[in-house]
Structures are given as C-alpha cells and as structure tokens.
Amino acid sequence: MNLTFSLYRLQTYDTQLLRIKKRIREIDQILQSDAEVAEALKARDEIKAEVDSIESELKLLSDQVHEKHIKAQLTHNALFDGKGRSLKELQDLQAEDKALKRAIEKLENDQLEVTARHDEALVALTDAENHYTETVNRRLAENSLILGEKSNLEAQIPGINSQRKALMNPLPADVIEEYQALFRAKHGRAVAAVDDEFCSACGIELKPSELQQVKSQSLLFKCKSCGRILYYP
Ligand SMILES: [Zn+2]
C-alpha cells in the first residue's frame, strides 16, 4: 500500500474541509452582525428624535400663542366694556394689551423659526429613511449572495467526507491516529512532500539513506528536523 501518498491526499481533503468550515463560520458572523444596517438605523432614529423634539417645541409655542390670544381678548373686552374704570385702570389695561401684542408677535416669530427647522428636519428624516431602506435592501441582496456561497460550501462537505472515508478505510488505525495528532500539532500540515531532497516544510536536506526510506512509501518516515511525515511525490 502506498501509505504516505494516501496520507498526503487525506491531508488535502482535511485542509479543504478546514477551509470550508472556516469560511462558513465567517459567513455566519457576517449574517449575524450587520454594522452598516445598524448605523443607518441609528442615524434615522437620531433624526426622528430631533423631529419629535422640534414638534413638542412647536406644540408648546402654539399653546402659548393661544393662551396669550385669550388673555388679549379679555383685556380688549375689559377696555371697551363700558364699566366706568378709573384712568389708572384703563392705562394698566392698555399697557397690558400692548405687552400681550408684543409677546404674541415674539412667539409668532419663534414659531416661524422653529417651523423652518422642522421643515429641514423632515427633509433630513426622509433622506435618512430612504438611506436606511436602501441599505437594508442592498445588504439583503449581498447576504443572499453569501447565503448562496454558504450552501455551495455545505454541499461540498459530504463528497469530501466520503473521499476521506474511502482513503482512510484501508489505513491502519494507529497510522490514522498518528497522522491526525500531527495534523493538529502542525496546524494542518502533517505530511510534507520531499522536494529535490529537501523537506518542503522545514527545508532540511535529507541523507541518501533517509531519502531511500521515504521513497519506499510503505512505512512512515518522519523529518528529523520538523517531525512531519515525509512523502516522496
Ligand atoms: Zn522537515
């Protein structure tokens, strides 16, 4: 049996599986945390809060204007109700009437200024809402692309697993165990090819006698320097 060639191929499949599983984990993370959508939503909510705050300002101003109008009406009525008031009383009423008119004028100017701010904020809110909707839709389209990639990757796994099984079936259990322990310890590179009499993993040169043993391919021969199983291609 060509032991080292089988292990070398097994390593190729194991490496593929690791890569596929790593990418699937990355995709799952991308799907779970969508910073762009969260940012667009935050921006929209901030502008919405600003619009709400301006609207309560407007409501307050409108209540104040209404209240002053009622007072002005009462003052006006009192001025002309013909109840023989003293000159002092009439002067006070006139002064109050003027003060109320000034107050109403000031409040109405404030209303104009706040209304202009309200209009601007509404435009900004529409923009932010459009941006949010556009971001959500775009991310959905992008996510559907990587969802497609994920299902492609998942579909490859059974095929690779059955190839691995077929390779592993004739191998002795202790050889598989040794390979797997080395695969973990050497971060996915348990088997190294010999390249022009050198170990392709660590670069050390093999003695002719060592090379001979590697070429036999029927027993495991490990690199004296890096400990990997050597394979002669
Ligand atoms: Zn080596």
Q: How far is the CA of 91 from the centre of ligand 1 (A)?
A: 109
Residue 1 has pLDDT above 60, yes or no: no
Predicted TM-score (pTM) of this structure: 0.61
> What is the topology classification, in CATH, of domain 10-168?
Helix Hairpins (1.10.287)
- Span 44-89, pLDDT tens digits: 999 999 999 999 999 999 999 999 999 999 999 998 888 888 899 9
With a CB cutoff of 8 Å and minimum separation 6, the contacts of 15 are: 188
Q: How far is the CA of 154 from the centre of ligand 1 (A)?
A: 34
Q: How far is the CA of 206 from the centre of ligand 1 (A)?
A: 9
Q: How far is the CA of 200 from the centre of ligand 1 (A)?
A: 7
- Span 21-52, pLDDT tens digits: 999 999 988 887 788 889 999 999 999 999 99
Q: Where are the domains of the chain?
A: 10-168, 173-231
With a CB cutoff of 8 Å and minimum separation 6, the contacts of 132 are: 37, 40, 41, 43, 44
- Span 184-213, pLDDT tens digits: 999 999 999 999 999 999 999 999 999 998
